[in-house]
Amino acid sequence: MAQGSGTRPPDEASTHRLQSVHDQLKDLIESLREQRERRVREGPPAPASAVSSPAEGPPLAPVPEVLDLEKRRLSADLAEARAELARLSGEEMRLRRQVADLEREHRRLSDDYVAVEEQNSELASLFVALERLHGSADRGDAMAAVQEIVVNMVGSEELGVYQLDRAGGLELAHGFGLAAARPDRYPPGDGTVARVAANGAPFVAGRGEASEDPDLTAAIPLRSGGRVAGVLAIWRLLGHKPSLTDLDQRLFSVLECHAGRWLSPAAE
């Protein structure tokens, strides 16, 4: 064991002293443990100064300064750890809020995308309907176009196009999937279809007055030169289509304004 540090350089002396303090602390902890065990076995504790055996060296005295130093060091470490924990908790809260904001923005963008795509699809439908009607070469082609629009774009499997005759009645000009009960002719003023021809106001089931024909889904006036030239009557919708939509209403407007020119007498 070293006798003293007077002949050593200052840095080596400090290291030696720290090592000595460390060794003393270690021995102190061991002696305190042995005292506790002896107290449990024998009763009154033995003096701390009598703990160490001759083989371990001279008796140890408690080092309060060392304990106090260690206690202060551990307290500082604990305070630092708590501060770090608080900082990290705050960071976690900030990141969670950021994630929530991003998720909200993502949902908004997704909703916007769907809305834009639906609008695009709707515009495409209207363009296609117009293109087909205006691209028709003759009356037969125009009637086929009306049928395709109603069957494939509105979603019906029973329709009739009626042309206004000179007497003011309606004659069937084109039909698709018509049930046997559907008339080939409507006398003037007879029923919803004839009233649509007379007053030029479209009929849609569920909006406004009910029809005497419970199967009639819609009756749309078809105009030529601003005047009613006929009526498109739609009965059964496809099984998987529950009701008409806003897009269907817009398609009806296109048909009303652009399909009637093929029903005027000059077009025959």
The CB-of-106 to other proteins minimum distance in angstroms stands at 18
Rank residues 41 and 240 by Cβ distance to other proteins and give the closer one. 240
The CB-of-126 to other proteins minimum distance in angstroms stands at 10
Q: Which amino acid belongs to residue 101?
A: D
Tell whether residue 38 is a contact of other proteins (CB under 8 A): no
Interface residue with other proteins, options 12, 117, 138, 215 (CB under 8 A): 117
The CB-of-74 to other proteins minimum distance in angstroms stands at 59
The CB-of-128 to other proteins minimum distance in angstroms stands at 5
Angle at 94 between CA 92 and CA 96, to 5 degrees: 70
Closest among 146, 138, 151 to 162, alpha carbons compared: 146
Structure tokens at 20: 């000595």
Report how far residue 16's alpha carbon sits from residue 24's, in angstroms, rounded to the nearest whole number.
12
Contact 200, 176 (CB under 8 A): no
Rounded to 10 degrees, the C-alpha dihedral 93/97/98/100 comes to 140
Report how far residue 245's alpha carbon sits from residue 214's, in angstroms, rounded to the nearest whole number.
19
Contact 159, 248 (CB under 8 A): no
Interface residue with other proteins, options 74, 76, 81, 124 (CB under 8 A): 124
Rank residues 13 and 151 by Cβ distance to other proteins and give the closer one. 151
The CB-of-253 to other proteins minimum distance in angstroms stands at 17
Region binding other proteins by CB under 8 A among candidate stretches 46-54, 102-110, 128-136, 216-224: 128-136
Report how far residue 41's alpha carbon sits from residue 36's, in angstroms, rounded to the nearest whole number.
9
Rank residues 34 and 141 by Cβ distance to other proteins and give the closer one. 141
Q: Which residue has the tokens 């039909």?
A: 175
Beta bridge mates, 185: 171
Tell whether residue 154 is a contact of other proteins (CB under 8 A): yes
Tell whether residue 249 is a contact of other proteins (CB under 8 A): no
Measured CA to CA in angstroms, residue 74 lies from 9, 67, 80, 87, 154 at distances of 31, 11, 10, 20, 79
Q: How many of the other CB atoms lie within 10 Å of CB of 113?
A: 10
Tell whether residue 152 is a contact of other proteins (CB under 8 A): yes
Interface residue with other proteins, options 54, 206, 239, 242 (CB under 8 A): 239
Rank residues 48 and 247 by Cβ distance to other proteins and give the closer one. 247
The CB-of-139 to other proteins minimum distance in angstroms stands at 17
Tell whether residue 148 is a contact of other proteins (CB under 8 A): yes
Tell whether residue 112 is a contact of other proteins (CB under 8 A): no
Contact 254, 129 (CB under 8 A): yes
Tell whether residue 178 is a contact of other proteins (CB under 8 A): no
Interface residue with other proteins, options 121, 179, 210, 243 (CB under 8 A): 121
* Residues within the interface to other proteins (CB under 8 A): 114, 117-118, 120-121, 124-125, 127-129, 131-132, 145, 148-149, 151-155, 157, 238-241
